[in-house]
Every structure is written in structure tokens, then in C-alpha cells.
Structure 1
Amino acid sequence: MAVTLAGELTPKVWTDKDGNARPSADMKAHAVLTPYHVQRRRQMMAGEGS
């Protein structure tokens, strides 16, 4: 199932055991949305939800 994350993304760099710099990212998720949540939100915005 597809999900969407909303939050803060912080790019970082770490060094492996051979001394090579590797890109990385940390994410602090504030919200997780599935297709169900997106459909429900669209219905509510259109005035179809109760």
C-alpha cells in the first residue's frame, strides 16, 4: 500500500568503515497518509463527508 509522509527531512552524511562519505537522511514524520485518508479528506473538502 502506498503511503505519504509529512514532516521534517534532515539531510546528513555518515562515514563508512573505509572512510567513504555516504549520504543519509533523517525524517521526523508528523503525519502518515494512506490512499484511504486522502480519499476521505477529499470527500470532506467537497462536503460529501459527515
Structure 2
Amino acid sequence: MHENAALKRGTSQRSVLACIGMRSQHPKAAAIALRESFHFAVCGNFASG
């Protein structure tokens, strides 16, 4: 159970990094997104399907 959670967490972090990478042309937007859990939720939902 814990391994699954760790795996999901790793996947989520990768997804967020990918989202931030897409926004790398806009550093300010990426910095703001980093601070907003909303961005994390959107990226997570987008990555999972």
C-alpha cells in the first residue's frame, strides 16, 4: 500500500515537472503555479486521464 502511494507521488511529481516544463517560457507563471496546489491538482488530473 505504501509502495503504491510512493509510486503515485513520484508520478504526480513527474507530471508537475512536465507541466512546469511546458510553462518554462513563462518563468513567472511557473513560479506562481509552483505555489498553487490548484496547478498540482490540474496537472495530476490531466496526467491520469
| TM-score bracket for the superposition, by shorter chain length | 0.3 to 0.5
Give the structure with higher Rg (CA): 1
TM-score, length-scaled by structure 2: 0.34
TM-score by length of 1: 0.34
